[in-house]
Amino acid sequence: MQTPQVVTIAGSDSGGGAGIQADLKTFQARKVFGMSILVALTAQNTQGVQESLPIPCSFINAQFASLADDFQIQAAKTGMLFDQDHVQAVADNYRNFSFGPLIVDPVMVAKGGHPLLQKEAIQTIKTELVPQAYAITPNLPEAEVLTGSKIRNKEEISKAAATLQKMGARNVIIKGGHSDGKEATDFVLMEDKSSFQLSAPRIQTKNTHGTGDTFSSCITAELAKNSTFKEAVIIAKKFIQGAIEEGISVGSGHGPTNHWA
């Protein structure tokens, strides 16, 4: 059997904890072959993002063309997309090339508050990328921005997921990591309109850098291995819980989630 092949379309974290570095480490841990289409670079460490720099859109096109020419990619994910033009370039390329189910992780701001996506790009994400999403994986604040509605309770989470599905995402996962409480509960709305929740005890640690990236890249890897969507989400929830438990204390700020094996 050919090795499953996947690609992350995202930004680089020089600090090695999030972005394409987290994605590629996750792909390796999940035993799929990982590639990367770089959209932006960040000068970053565990304290936060100091600077960011976009890759020219023409070079995004070149990376897509190179990979499409030589590999059989079975699944892909997006992460940091920088601005409107870059979201448009990624959406246009994704329409042209067949890279399998697309997991859209609508990354907006880093933990320290540095923007990873300019505000003007949100509309482009909604109109160009969400309709191509096999699944979208917002956290609660991102789901609020995308739907334009406050999310205060379970009913509003379910409503937000339905709104995102109406925008065109086939499956929706609203991650509960940013809520209060003893458990981190994710709400999952599937293509057939059925839904379920996944809960895990909240781990007290500051080493959570790259949590969202690791979760969405694990789902991408599992889909490439032919898991069903539900199986992929369950595996990813377990994987991210383990990766938070194994988070590493490097640097003086938020250390990265981690998975040694």
Which three-class secondary structure string do you get for 140-161?
HHHHHHHHCCCCCCHHHHHHHH
Least Å from the CB of residue 79 to ligand PLP: 4
Q: Which residue is nearest to ligand PLP (CB)?
A: 19
Closest CA to 209 of 174, 246, 172, 260: 246
Residue placing its CB nearer to ligand PLP in the complex, 101 or 138: 138
Beta strands in 79-164 (DSSP E): 102-104, 135-136
Least Å from the CB of residue 10 to ligand PLP: 5
Closest CA to 34 of 24, 45, 44: 24
Least Å from the CB of residue 258 to ligand PLP: 13
Residue placing its CB nearer to ligand PLP in the complex, 60 or 190: 60
Least Å from the CB of residue 13 to ligand PLP: 4
3-class secondary structure, 28: helix
Residue placing its CB nearer to ligand PLP in the complex, 168 or 251: 251
Contact 134, 105 (CB under 8 A): no
Residue placing its CB nearer to ligand PLP in the complex, 111 or 230: 111
Q: Note the residues at the interface with ligand PLP (CB under 6 A).
A: 10-11, 13, 18-19, 42, 44, 79-80, 107, 110-111, 116, 209-213
Least Å from the CB of residue 249 to ligand PLP: 15
Separation of alpha carbons 135 and 130, rounded Å:
8
Residue placing its CB nearer to ligand PLP in the complex, 113 or 201: 113
Angle between helices 19-29 and 211-224 (to 10 degrees): 40
